Amino acid sequence: MCGFVGIWNKNGKPVDLEQLALANSTIRHRGPDDEGYLLINSNTGRVVSCGGNDTMPGLSLPDINELRGDEFNIGFGFRRLAIQDLSIAGHQPMQCHNSNRWLLFNGEIYNYIEIREELKSFGYKFTSNSDSEVVLASYDKWGSKCLDKFNGMWAFVIIEIEHNAPPRLFVSRDRFGIKPLFYSQCGDGYYFASEPKALIRSELVNWDVNHESAYHYFVHGNLPTSFSGDTMYANIDRLPPASTMTITREKCETCQYWELPEFDGIERNDKDLLEELDDLLVSAVDLRMRSDVPVGSCLSGGLDSSLIVSLINSSLIGGSESRQKTFSAVYDIEGSFNESEHIAKVVNDMSIDDHYTIPTSEGLVEKLNHLIWTQDEPFQGTSIYAQYCVMESVKTSGVKVLLDGQGADELFGGYMPFIVFLRSLGRKKGQMEAWRQTRKCFHIPKTKAMAQYMFSLGMNCLPSGLDGRVFGLMQNARQTRKVRESCMQMDFQNTFESNARASLNSTAGAVQYAGDDLNEHLGKITHGVGLELLLRHEDRNSMAFSVESRVPFLDYRLVDFAFRKCQDGIKIKDGWSKWALRKVANERLPKAIAWRKDKVGFATPESIFIKAAISSQRDMLSSNNLSSSYLDWDRINKTLHEKPDTGESMEMWRRRWRWVNFEMWMRNLKANTGVLKD
C-alpha cells in the first residue's frame, strides 16, 4: 500500500523538482518506509531514477536535490508502505527487466504468487518476492488483459518509454475503487496523485470548489462519486473504478474493463450455494492474510466483521501466531451505538487479543482539523471520526495490515432493503407470497414491515409507468423541503435548482427504492452510489496512520458469486436480511451474533459529537466566512443559536454538520496551500 504523484508537461516545460518533492512529501503518511522518483526528458530520452530523504539505505540512488539544475518534463514521485518483500527489491518506481517500462503501484495483488508461477512457465524470471514485479511482468505478457487476472486492490501507472517514440502512460484502478487515483488536466500538463492534497499543497493545481457537487452536499449530504469522475474540486477528477486511462501527448482515452455480472437465471439449491459461499469466504480471507508484516482485523460486534474474525482465527490455529489482534470502537456512554456488549461475546468465544478505543466529543474537537485534512473532501457525519480513532489504535499497536467487513451489506442485502425485495416478489410471484414474507419480517421491528409492504403493494397496483411518476412527485416534495432547509445563498441555489430536479433519480436518495429486483438495487449501491464512499473514507483514515486496510468481501470471485448465482430469496429470507451470510456464520459464531436484530452500523453518539464540533467553532458564526458565497450564514446563525429540541431529527444535526464541515474544509485548504507541515 503506497502513494504516488506525477507530472507530465507535454509542452516540454521542465518539471519543478522542488514542487514534485513537496507533493510527494505531502502524502508521506501513505508510505513512510521508502521514497523514490523517476525523472524523464521526453525530448532527449534521458531517464533518471533518484531518491530523497526517506529512500531505503543500500539503493545508492542520486538525491533529487542534486538534479535541480537539470531539465525533465516528466516526473513521478513514490511513497512506499512495505508489506510484501520488505527489502530494497520492492523499491519503486520499478523498472521492467526486459523493457523500458516503469511502474508506480499502490495496492495489493493477493494472488500474485499464483500469477508469478504462471509467468515463470513462460520464461519470466523474478528478483523479488513483491507483487509489484508481478504486475509489471503481467502487463508485459498480457497487456491490459492482465487486469482480468488480478485479485486485489490497486491504482497504478505504467510509463512506457520506447526508443524514438513519445512516452505513453497506462493507468488503471481496481474494480471497486478501493484504491484512489486523482488527476488534473490543466493546459499542457497532466497531474496525478493518490490524494488531492498532494496537488493542492504543492500548488500544482489551484483549488476551487465544484459548485454542483457543493449544491448536492448541502441539500442531500451527497458526495460526488468516482463513477461520475467528479470531486468536490472544480479542476480535479478521479479515475472511475474498473477503468483504465491511456495517455499520450496527443490524447487521453478512458475505458471500463469490468462491470457487475447479472443473475444468470439458474435456480440453485440453497445447500450448494451456502457451501460455495463458505469456501469463497475462506479463500478470500486466506489470500488477504498474505503479508510480511503483522495482520489484524476490525471488530464492530456485527455479523460481517465477526465472521472475518472467525475465519482468521480458523486460519491461525496451529500457526506461529496464536492470538489474533482485533480493533474496536466502544463508548463510555450508553446507547444503541455502543457495541461493547456484542464485541465481548465474540472476544469471549475466541482466543482474541482485543484492542479498543473510546472516541469522545473532546477528542473529535482536538483532532477535527486533521480529520478534515485527512479526508480531502467534506463528509457526511461523525462515524468517520470513530473509524479514524480505530486506525490510530491500530498504528499504536504495531499492526500494519487490517481486514475489514466493508461490502457484505451491499452484496448480500444488508441495510434492510425489504421494500425493494417485497416489490420484486409481488411482481414475480404474486402478492400472496409477498404478504407471506412480510409477516415473517415482524420479528425485526426496524423493518416496519407492514408499512413497507403496503407501500410496495400500492406501487405495484398502479398502472405501468405511473409508479415511477408517483415516486418522482414524492422525491420532488422532499427536494423542495431539503432545499428550503439547506440555507444556501439564493443566487447559488437558483443556479442549480432546475438541473438538480431533473437529475433527482441519480442521487443517493433515489437509490432507496431503485430497481425492480433486489440484485439491481444492490448493484447500484455496490458499483455506483454508496459503497465507494465508504471505501474512500476507509482509505484516507487507514493511510493517515500508515495502515493498509483489506476488504475480503470485495474479492471479485465473491462479488461474481453474489450477483451471478444468488437469487433474491437467498439474500433475504424468512424476514432476515443477509440470510445466506447468517447461515454460514451460524456454524462459526455465537448465535447471538449471527442472528442479531439490532445492528445499527458503525454509529456514534452523533448529536453529541456534532454539538461539540459546532461549539468549538464560535468564530465561524459570522457572514464573513470563506463559504459565504454558497451559504447564508445569517440564516445559519439563527438556526445554530436556537436551542436544539430534544426531539430533533438526526437529519437536522447532519445538516448543521454539513455547514460547519464545509466551512472548515475551505479554511483547511486555504491554510495548507503551498505550506509543508510535519
Q: CA dist 544 to 2, 426, 500, Å?
A: 11, 47, 34
Q: CA dist 640 to 167, 610, 645, 653, Å?
A: 55, 11, 12, 10
Q: CA dist 53 to 24, 35, 56, 64, Å?
A: 11, 7, 9, 9
Helices (H), 250-300: 270-287
Contact 610, 603 (CB under 8 A): no
The count of C-alpha atoms lying within 13 angstroms of the C-alpha of 65, restricted to the half-sphere facing its C-beta, is 4
Choose among 529, 567, 568: nearest CA to 419: 568
The two counts, helices (H) then strands (E), for the chain are 26, 18
Does 96 qualify as catalytic in the annotation? no
C-alpha grid cell for residue 416? 434492510
Choose among 80, 534, 588, 504: nearest CA to 310: 588
Strands (E), 51-203: 74-80, 94-95, 101-109, 152-160, 168-173, 182-186, 189-193
Alpha-carbon 676 to chain mean position: 26
User: What angle in degrees, to the nearest 10, is found between the helix axes of 606-615 and 361-375?
Assistant: 80
- Other C-beta atoms closer than 10 Å to the C-beta of 4 total 30
Choose among 11, 416, 332: nearest CA to 190: 11
Contact 257, 270 (CB under 8 A): no
Helix (H, G, I), strand (E, B) or coil at 515: coil
As a whole number of angstroms, the distance between CA 403 and CA 298 comes to 6
Which helix H or strand E contains 112, and what residues bound it? helix 112-121
Q: CA dist 331 to 353, 362, 559, 593, Å?
A: 19, 13, 34, 19
The count of C-alpha atoms lying within 13 angstroms of the C-alpha of 605, restricted to the half-sphere facing its C-beta, is 19
Q: Which residues are catalytic?
A: 2
